[in-house]
Amino acid sequence: NTENTPQKFLLDFLQEYFNHLMQHSRRPSYVAKPKPFHIVVNGLAGSGKSYVISIIEKMIQEYCISESATVSRPRKNLGLLKMVHTGKAALNIHGSTIHSALEIGPDGNASPNKINSFKLYTLRNRLNGLLLII
């Protein structure tokens, strides 16, 4: 493990969150679903953002495999959507830009009234079943 202290704190937090989520999946009547959380991954170049994101992705994959074995229903998209500001960053983490992930046009228009039904259907499918957005 080459995580620094903030990275280790985040990964420990996520492991505990996924453990709680798994307990909820197994016994939803007895274990409350954990509340959503908000964390922003940022830092200087070379600080390990992509590394942490790759570890989080592996954690989610492991969780989804365990979850589907428990509840007999696979989760779409492995429960993860990786969005970043720039195209270069999107390539680094094998994700999407925020604009392309959310179907926001170059003019900044994301009004649901102006999105055609196919794009809206695609967007709903992309967001359905997500556990985490990075």
Tens-digit pLDDT profile for residues 96-125: 898 888 877 766 555 556 677 887 888 887
Tens-digit pLDDT profile for residues 28-72: 889 888 888 888 888 888 888 888 888 888 888 887 777 776 666
* Euclidean distance between CA atoms 3 and 6, whole angstroms: 8
Q: What local confidence, expressed as pLDDT, does residue 125 receive?
A: 78
By C-alpha distance, which of 103, 109, 108 is closest to 127? 103
Strands (E), 28-131: 80-81, 83-84, 96-97
Q: What local confidence, expressed as pLDDT, does residue 73 receive?
A: 61
H or E element, residue 25: helix 5-26
Tens-digit pLDDT profile for residues 4-23: 788 888 889 989 998 898 88
Are 10 and 52 in contact, with CB atoms under 8 Å apart? yes
* Euclidean distance between CA atoms 81 and 7, whole angstroms: 20
Are 25 and 67 in contact, with CB atoms under 8 Å apart? yes
